[in-house]
Amino acid sequence: MSRPSQARLDLAALRHNVALASELAPNARVMAVVKANAYGHGAVTMARELEPRVDAMAVACLEEALELRESGIRAPILLLEGVFEPAELAVAAREQIWVTVDNATQLAWLEQARLDKPLQCWLKVDTGMHRLGTEPGQAQRYFERITSCPNSLGKPVVSTHFASADDTGSETTRRQLALFEQATAALGVLRSAANSPGLLAWPASHYDWVRPGYMLWGNSPFGTALQANAARLRPVMTLCSAVISVRDVASGEAVGYGESWRAERPSRIATVTIGYGDGYPRTARNGTPVLVNGQRAPLAGRVSMDMITVDVTDLVPVQVGDPVVLWGEGLPVAEVAEPAGTIGYELLTRMPPRCPRIVVNA
């Protein structure tokens, strides 16, 4: 019998989430962000399911785009960070991959390239993230140069990226939207601003293209805070395992490495075959919730490479073989990430190959 730890991937949930994205922004085109191996879910598997349901996809780099092309994905693919050297432009042109231009160096490479066919370009404007993008005051000049460049397929789509859209009361987001409006109002161009929190909570940001990423996998970009549209999402990944041992521990006895948890009463401890070698965070604190037989129980003791221990004293009697959910259906990943001192994005994208992905509801 194989080790029971696995990441179950529900394609019906993915279909539901992308339908929600389209419903919330009915007048916008949908660009599914599948970078970082589709946030740990498997880029090729997820892209194949998404392709007939979205208008384009986005990745971080050319290598990620080529993986999709080699797997048969023909949908438009945007390089969110653009190219990292001039030679990549010819590959992008050959494979019909869209490119972002966000600085003077990339613009010069585009203008100087000798390409067999022109590229669809996107122009990124920095409205406050201060990571990538041209200054708002330079947007028109960049736009005109890209539009007149023989290597560009007409007008670029103009985009920006939010720094704090996961804060639904953010003044920064309002300022970014105002700057973006100022920079693009006279261009008569297609625009894109909404990432997942923008799509869910900032309808003024929807414009012509929306770029959902994290929300596609059924997780709220607002963490554990309640947000009405995010509450409608369904998790695609459920990290699950099983109980492999149950034991009684006397009051005062410690459990696990470093004796970080000590029983304050006679306790029942279940050992589960999952650990940081499978993607469960070592930094998860005592008390982090775990579902055992659908019942919540607290983590008790330090996370090991291959196992965790859970205090099941107050549950209906637990037995070897009982199912365990670490996050996903019934337990949002944010509730695990918060006591681990991180965010759900990191937990999902760091899922290692050791943990098998099992596709359901294909």
Instruction: Give the active site residues.
Output: 35, 257
DSSP 203: G
Helices (H), 51-184: 62-70, 87-94, 104-112, 139-148, 171-184
- Exposure of 252 by Cβ count < 10 A (0-12 exposed, 13-18 middle, 19+ buried)? exposed
For residue 259, give the 3-state DSSP assignment. helix
Residue 240: φ, ψ to 5°: -135, 165
For the chain, the 3-state helix, strand and coil shares in percent, each to the nearest 5, are 30, 25, 45
The CA distance from 253 to 29, in Å, is: 58
* Distances in whole angstroms, Cα of residue 351 to Cα of each of 138, 305, 334: 40, 13, 15
* Spatial contact of 266 and 289, defined as CB atoms under 8 Å apart: no
* Spatial contact of 252 and 262, defined as CB atoms under 8 Å apart: yes
The CA distance from 310 to 255, in Å, is: 10
The CA distance from 59 to 46, in Å, is: 13
The CA distance from 48 to 255, in Å, is: 45
